[in-house]
Amino acid sequence: MLRTIIIDDEEHQRLNIDKMVKLYCPDLTVIAHADGVKTGVEAVKKYGPELVLLDINLDDGSGFDLLDALQPINFKIIFITAFDHYAIKAFRFNALDYLLKPIDPDELCRAASKAAAIMQNDFNTQIANLLKYIQPDDKNHKKIIIKTHDNIYLVPVQDIIYCQSDNNYTRFHLSDHKQITVSATLKEYEDLLSDSGFFRIHKSYLINMKQITRFERAVGGSVVLEGNIKIPVASRKREELLAILERLTNI
């Protein structure tokens, strides 16, 4: 069983999570509670948990402050949050799990099983990258974790030229000519990358707008990316793309 600490600044939330763990998660055993960054750091150092259920908003700081104080991380983490979808994107970006309040018992058990299956070295890499991702001055140097069967890649978003759909797989085309194929739909990455300057110009293509060198109007239209890569533009996306390009030229 995973020895677990619950860190949340609301007592009723801690007790509710503890109760759900006992009722629905036989693979977890709660060994301690904490109500903030300071007490959380003390509890982790004292009890050495294998898993921490960590609220992000704490009275004396954030869950990220707690992680900074405990580097290197030698336990697994499930975030608990009432954050909006933009914050959730950050967690999905780095393949970390999270629970939205109010917590669903089935989601808690699913997340716990997932955390138990992750190798600790892989998880340390994910934590380090998340902490980089959330730093305000790192906005232009975000990295996305791309997991394949054999490897975990940390890829700068700016190095992605375009993503290509292949049924239930997505192929990343990078600026160094490397290609990485993952078992996930293009829609998932469209949701993740839309705030980083990516645009779905076709059902099969998601492009990095910063990689566009020109738009060709002939035969319905296509964009040419760095490296002279030509990508077709779907007819229903043409006007939207042209409007975006027009705004860019006026900046």
Q: Cis ω on the peptide bond leading into residue 72 (within 30° of 0)? A: yes
> What would the pLDDT profile of 37-85 be if each residue is shown by its tens digit?
999 999 999 999 999 999 988 999 888 889 889 888 888 888 888 765 5
Structural domains present in the chain: 2-133 (3.40.50.2300), 142-249 (2.40.50.1020)
Residue of 44, 34, 29 whose CA lies nearest to 112 = 29
Is the pTM above the cut of 0.75?
Answer: no
- Cross-strand bridge partners of residue 216: 222
Report DSSP state, residue 169.
E
> What would the pLDDT profile of 141-189 be if each residue is shown by its tens digit?
677 878 787 887 888 889 999 999 988 899 999 999 999 999 888 988 8
Is the Cβ–Cβ distance between 72 and 124 less than 8 Å?
yes
> Amino acid identity of 56?
I
Is the Cβ–Cβ distance between 76 and 119 less than 8 Å?
no
Q: Is 246 helix (H, G, I), strand (E, B) or coil?
A: helix
Residue of 29, 76, 79 whose CA lies nearest to 54 = 79
Residue of 153, 163, 147 whose CA lies nearest to 196 = 163
